[in-house]
Amino acid sequence: MLEIKDLHVQVNGVPILNGLHLTVNPGEVHAIMGPNGSGKSTLAKVIAGHPEYEVTKGTIEYEVNFKKINLLEMEPDERAKEGVFLAFQYPVEIPGVNTAVFLRAAFNELCRHQGAEEMDPIEFDEFLRSKLTLLNMEEKVINRPVNVDFSGGEKKRNEILQMAVLNPRLAVLDETDSGLDIDALRIVAEGVNKLKRKDNAVILITHYQRILNYIVPDFVHILSNGRIVRSSGKELALEVEERGYDWL
Amino acid sequence: MSATNGKSITLSSKLQDIDFGTKASVPGWLRQLRCEGRERFNQMGIPSVKDEEWKYTNVTPLAERQFHFPMEFALKEKALLKHYLNPQETNIVLVNGVYSEEFSNVKNLVKGLTVTNLTVQADNAQLKKLINLFPSTYPDVFAALNNALLQEGIFIQIDDATVVQKVIHVVHVANPTNHDTIIVPRTLISIGKSAQVDILESHVGFSSGAYFANALTDILIKENAAAHYCKAQAESKGAYHIGSTRIWQKRDSNLETFSLTVGGTLTRNNLNIILEEPGTTTFLHGLYTMKEEQHVDNHTCVEHRAPNCTSNQLYKGILDQHSRAVFNGKIIVSREAQQTNSYQLNKNLMLGSDCRIDTKPQLEIFADDVKCTHGATIGQLNEDEIFYLKSRNIPQDLAVRILARGFVDDILNRLPNQSICEKLNQLLSSAIDVLK
């Protein structure tokens, strides 16, 4: 579904990723771990299409309807509409924009793209409530401006709520677990697990092994200095937890 | 047919005594008002940018144009207007400056509310008081011009202790058939002691050509009354709109004003509020959304003449492409006006790289026990916010509109009246929907 080859990326002229390879198939969960500054978040932002990240070499191919398309040529909203979703490490606060209104706009853009009928506010409200229950979230959240005055945990949960609403094919979760207490972590992980299907995939970027107790990865990759230096099964995460990154 | 049919004026030359028809019904006070207005206008003349009050808004192009008085008073775009009117409200509609029986519904008004056409208004003590509130010597050349050219106008009188539930919606429709028409909307409102009312005054244009709307509204708010006064300016693309709203507040009265500007090529909104007696509260809200070559100039002036009054103003604007905005907020606190609280904030969002904003607070404080603050901001859209929306399927242009909308949303939510809020929302949305 996703094939990253020899990816080189720089930000403001500083190279961050230096020849990264990654292949993700439908149904898989890939955990990407690594020390601070290894390029984890850069990878997430590049997949989503952040304009500040400049790809100097390499390709990202993404499969849509059995056809490979070049992700790097697409605008962020076009990627999103093809099912690429980024759960932000630091979700952005948007004052004055109501969460429910924002989510309906996002959802209806998707409907239009897929040629499906758009939902009116009443229909969408019902749909949204069912997703709130899934994440154990309070209703009042959706009537507040997007992420404004949300606690850290609420912001992260709001990202997964958006994932539940938009039902992506490829979800990139950028340190969604950081800063969550154990209860919030469990709820978020359960939410992600419930959204898991045979035909979608998850790239789970994390600093800590803890979340992998709840979302079990098929592969664990260690990122260091902008390259994947080791890939293995879920046991690799435990090793990292025990020994740190220095031995790699 | 009107007596001024085919007549025209040029503002750079001295105004002559225009023959408005010698109908016997024209009341004496109106003749006198025109005469004083004419003299005042001729004395002052059209200001240039050398005049401090007009430094950022050049109206000299208006001076050389030949303006015609409206020739027709029937409305062609009926559906558009009907869509804008709410039949549940008290609608007072003037087409090209002339009262329209067809679109107005002023029958079965609540007791204590009277609406009359100025031309048929005989001598009335309340009216006299209002007319003389701001004497012809008050330095406002376009108000003087309005007086000089006044033919029809609306007088709204709300008696003491009358609570008017339904919104009063005064609509000035410009739909001139000939180019360079001048229209002079005039509204006078007297709000009685302890009375309560919501008023929306709309200026809408259904014309493709250029015209000049020179509006004037005078409001007297008596003791302990509460008033919401909103002005919506959605003139046609080629229109010049220069309007003054002058409000006089008596003891313990409450006022909330809201001014929305989305239309016209050049707009000047003067808002002068005089807090004559103690204990008044005033909120001034303003919103403007400009694009292309549009220009809007909001000049507010709040005069604290008595102690223990509060005024609070917030104006926000969105500018796109080559548009331009001016905000000048003057606050005068006289020596007697101790314990004054006065706040002022102007916030602007620039979407285009070629727009310009001149924002200027102007505080003249003569009392020593006052709290006055002012501030202004000019900002651009946050790239992170745009990326966040785009990563959620939302394309660039829609993201810009959503964020622009979010920028002004708080101010719109302050509108106390739901029905007015919906109407202004309708106008605002159509202005925001074309932003890129």
ipTM: 0.96
For the segment B113-125, the average pLDDT, to the nearest whole number, is 80
Q: At how many degrees (to 10) do helices B396-412 and B383-390 cross?
A: 120
Q: Which amino acid is at B229?
A: Y
Per-residue pLDDT at B262 exceeds 80: yes
Interface test with A, best of B314, B318, B387, B405 (most A CBs within 10 A): B387
Say if B62 falls within a structural domain: yes
Asked whether the CA dihedral A193, A198, A200, A204 is positive or negative, the reply is positive
Q: What is the pLDDT of residue B147?
A: 92
- Provide the percentage of residues in chain B whose pLDDT is more than 70: 96
Q: Which residues contact B197 (CB under 8 A, 6 or more apart)?
A: B158, B162, B163, B164, B168, B191, B225, B226, B227, B228
Q: Which residues contact A248 (CB under 8 A, 6 or more apart)?
A: A222, A224, A229, A230
Q: What is the pLDDT of residue B75?
A: 84
Interface test with B, best of A41, A75, A97, A166 (most B CBs within 10 A): A97
Strand, coil or helix: A89: coil
Say if B397 falls within a structural domain: no
Q: What is the pLDDT of residue B25?
A: 65
| Pairwise pLDDT comparison (B77 vs B223), residue with the higher score | B223
Distance from CA of B399 to the nearest CA of A (A): 10
How many structural domains comprise chain A?
1
Say if B428 falls within a structural domain: no
CA nearest to B409 within chain A = A96
Q: How far is CA B292 from CA A175, B53, B60, B156, B296, in A?
A: 43, 24, 21, 37, 12
Q: What is the pLDDT of residue A237?
A: 86
CA distance B149 to B246: 18
Per-residue pLDDT at B64 exceeds 70: yes
Chain segment B421-433, per-residue pLDDT in tens: 999 999 999 899 8
List the one residue out of B138, B128, B291, B150 whose CA is nearest residue B214: B150
Distance from CA of A147 to the nearest CA of B (A): 11
* Contact across the interface for B390 and A80, Cβ inside 8 Å: yes
Strand, coil or helix: B118: helix
Residues in chain B within 8 Å Cβ distance of A97:
402-403, 405-406, 409
pLDDT grade for B121, boundaries at 50, 70 and 90: low
Per-residue pLDDT at B370 exceeds 90: yes
List the one residue out of B426, B430, B429, B424 whose CA is nearest residue B167: B424
Say if A248 falls within a structural domain: no
Q: What is the pLDDT of residue B21?
A: 66
Q: What is the pLDDT of residue B3?
A: 61
* Contact across the interface for B388 and A91, Cβ inside 8 Å: yes
Between B391, B396, B409, which is nearest A96 by CB? Answer: B409
CA nearest to B402 within chain A = A97
Answering whether pTM is above 0.80, one says yes
Say if B413 falls within a structural domain: no
Interface test with A, best of B384, B387, B391 (most A CBs within 10 A): B391
Q: What is the pLDDT of residue B240?
A: 96
In the numeric block, which tokens belong to residue A177?
A: 């677990």
Residues of chain A short of pLDDT 50, as ranges, are none
Say if A7 falls within a structural domain: yes
Per-residue pLDDT at B384 exceeds 60: yes
Per-residue pLDDT at B119 exceeds 80: no
B86: left (phi over 0), alpha (psi -120 to 50) or beta: beta
Average pLDDT over all residues of chain B:
92
* Contact across the interface for A80 and B406, Cβ inside 8 Å: no
Say if A105 falls within a structural domain: yes
Q: What is the pLDDT of residue B29?
A: 82
| Pairwise pLDDT comparison (B207 vs B24), residue with the higher score | B207
Residues in chain B within 8 Å Cβ distance of A109:
393-395, 398
> By residue range, what is the domain housing residue B289?
8-384
Between A49, A113, A162, which is nearest B392 by CB? Answer: A162
Q: What is the pLDDT of residue B19?
A: 72
Per-residue pLDDT at B76 exceeds 90: no
Residues in chain B within 8 Å Cβ distance of A107:
393
How many structural domains comprise chain B?
1
Distance from CA of A187 to the nearest CA of B (A): 22
pLDDT grade for B22, boundaries at 50, 70 and 90: low
Distance from CA of A109 to the nearest CA of B (A): 6
CA distance B38 to B184: 14
* Contact across the interface for A77 and B393, Cβ inside 8 Å: yes
Between B391, B398, B402, which is nearest A80 by CB? Answer: B391
Q: How many A-B residue pairs are in contact by the CB < 8 A criterion?
A: 78
* Contact across the interface for A106 and B388, Cβ inside 8 Å: no
Between residues 53 and 112 of chain A, which touch chain B (CB distance below 8 Å)?
75-77, 79-81, 85-86, 88, 91-92, 94-97, 102, 105-107, 109-110
Pairing of strands A53-64, A2-11: antiparallel
Q: What is the pLDDT of residue B1?
A: 43
> By residue range, what is the domain housing residue A65?
2-243
* Contact across the interface for B403 and A75, Cβ inside 8 Å: no
* Contact across the interface for A51 and B388, Cβ inside 8 Å: no
Per-residue pLDDT at B362 exceeds 50: yes
